[in-house]
Amino acid sequence: MTAVDPLRLATTEDPVPPRVRLRTEQPAPTIASRRSSGARIHEARPTVFDIRDMSVYYGPNRALMGTSFRIYRNLVTAVIGPSGCGKSTFIRTLNRMNDSIPGFRVTGQVLYHGHDVYGSAVNRVEVRRRIGMVFQKPNPFPKSIYDNVAWAPRNLGLRKDLDLRVERALQRAALWDEVKDRLRVSALSLSGGQQQRLCIARAIAVEPDVLLLDEPASALDPVSTAAIEDLMHSLKARYTIVIVTHNMQQAARVADRTAFFSLDRAERVGTLIEEDDTDTIFRNPRDTRTRDYVTGQFG
């Protein structure tokens, strides 16, 4: 089989790359079965992101230093840490969302399926199609529910079977049953939790490979938060998910692996302290700073 370039521009005839379709044909062992066998959660899983000595700068100021770790397919990876340690900078760097910020630059490498996201020949639009993002505050467009979900496919030329694509995205976002009879109603009429699930549906309507969630439940009530967490559990069978959260209980509930960021003691710059399976981070971390943070002694 010919290898698929994950940053190749998709065509309207083949909107879902073969790699994405094939990966669910042979289901991987469940997380529960791997935990019961004593195996590491990520063992035998393909690497989606291989981040190598990545530092991020805004002008002369370094916001994140020397970050290296891997993110694996079909797992939820939580990014935790105190305010100001570079969590949002990190997640936004994965899909080049920071590119428009004056003075922003990256050193090191962000490899996505082996391809450098910041390579000179890489198409930024295609990066953001493959690596979708949902922000902290729900931000539906002032359009109908249908047009919100259909917006990106239309703009990318993915107009074939558009009604089916919209329905499928809303179903995967666990919103279809609530809105199927009012698709032409303004998205702004939805509740906060529904709006956030609509934003998730909008992100997955173009069949991404990865979902980046930047504190997606921080503005929601507990019931809506639980709905978003349940949704993450179902979506990870199809997508690789990276979530930034300040909520330690949420990270423990939803994440398979967790990365703890903090401020470097000497330079006061954001840095990765450690990353591991979530159970290890919360029960037996290697670094005392991680232990202090997850037990509430600082942060």
Domains of the chain: total: 1
Inside any domain, residue 232 = yes
| pLDDT confidence of residue 31 | 47
299 domain-assigned: no
Low-confidence ranges of the chain (pLDDT < 50): 1-4, 9-34, 36-37
What pTM, to 2 d.p., does this model score?
Answer: 0.84
Whole-number pLDDT of residue 133: 94
In-domain check, residue 229: yes
Confirm whether 257 is domain-assigned.
yes
19 in any annotated domain? no
- Residue 2: inside a domain: no
Please report the pLDDT score of residue 120 as a whole number: 87
**Does residue 27 sit within a domain?**
no
Q: What is the pLDDT of residue 89?
A: 94
Whether residue 59 lies inside any domain: the answer is yes
User: Which CATH number does the domain housing residue 110 bear?
Assistant: 3.40.50.300
Predicted pLDDT at 38 = 52
Domain that holds residue 175: 45-294
Residue-by-residue DSSP string for the chain: -PPP-TTSPP-SS--S-HHHHHTTTSPPPPHHHHHHTT--TTTTPPEEEEEEEEEEEETTEEEEEEEEEEEETT-EEEEE--TTSSHHHHHHHTTTTTTTSTTEEEEEEEEETTEETT-TT--HHHHHHHEEEE-SS----SSBHHHHHHHHHHHTT--TTHHHHHHHHHHHTT-HHHHTT-TTSBGGGS-HHHHHHHHHHHHHTT--SEEEEESTTTTS-HHHHHHHHHHHHHHTTTSEEEEE-S-HHHHHHH-SEEEEEEE-TTT--EEEEEEEEHHHHHHS-SSHHHHHHHTTS--
Return the pLDDT at 261.
96
